[in-house]
Amino acid sequence: MALHKDEAIVLFKRSYGESDKIIRLFTLTSGKVAAIAKGANKSQKRFANTLEPFNRINVEYFEKYGRGMVRIENADIIKTNSGIETSLKKACTAGFFVEFVDRLTKERERHEDLFNVLAEILEDIRGAEFTYDDILHYQLRMLGILGFMPNFHACVYCGQTMTAEKKIFFSRERGGVLCHKCAPSLPHQVCAEGVIEGIASVQQANDNKMQGSQAACGCAEKGPAYLNNGFEKAAQDIMEGFMTYHLDVEFKSYRILKGLIV
């Protein structure tokens, strides 16, 4: 039985029997790990509030043969979830991104970049409520890291590049934008002018940030020009339809969050 030390974000917890807890951790070096915390419910001192969802912790755990559920030995808090509980919107936003990571990663797959993005998200949520543009910004970053990014730049059928005003057809089945010639023969939805280009501009800002470009923008408080009264609902429909179709997931936390986005 080997002892491992790692940094982790708590994704999920539930009681197991009278005294134990089942915990799902997203670790820096080992990816998603299922764990049991013996005696965590029975003793007020053992682990205290360390194993709460959204906490970032240093953890020590034992495992047998490199697979199966591990046993948590010790855990110390790096960052608590304090601040996230101050509003329903913050809690639902954090819940969405934690569920995003939980549902789209496999056990024991290392995703150091994804870990760092999730840690950044939770830190930002502690300080402020997210707008929809903030949510889209991080959603696209995560999809890019996981290799599931839709194509918002060129026709996914013929490869033709398009100007912003011609990007009005989106095919969730094909996973991206369609040109005027290809759209009539393929399933698609028609979007208002500027919606697809708006999503593409958020994606491009993320790419620029990754490359260290000065052109990169942060989140919505910097005022992207494409935002208007109809953008948020249309962008939500595109992203939700794409992920439901291609990733075969429907996020429970997002149902509530959609009603809170303003």
The secondary structure element, H or E, covering residue 73 is: strand 70-79
Residue 14: is its pLDDT beyond 60? Answer: yes
Region 236-259: mean pLDDT is 89
| Residue 159 backbone phi and psi in degrees, to 5 | 85, 5
The owner of tokens 């993320």 is 206
Between 52 and 210, where is the model more confident?
52
- Each residue's pLDDT tens digit, 99-125: 999 999 999 999 999 999 999 999 999
Q: Which two tokens stand for residue 67?
A: 């697979």
Per-residue DSSP letter, 177: E
Between 137 and 46, where is the model more confident?
137
Sketch out the chain's domains with CATH numbers.
2-81 (2.40.50.140), 151-251 (no CATH)
- Each residue's pLDDT tens digit, 132-148: 989 999 999 999 999 99
Residue 218: is its pLDDT beyond 80? Answer: no
In this prediction, residue 152 carries a pLDDT of 96
Q: Which two tokens stand for residue 48?
A: 């205290």
**Number of residues in the chain:** 262
Contact 133, 227 (CB under 8 A): yes
212, exposed or middle or buried, with CB in 10 Å at 0-12, 13-18, 19+? exposed
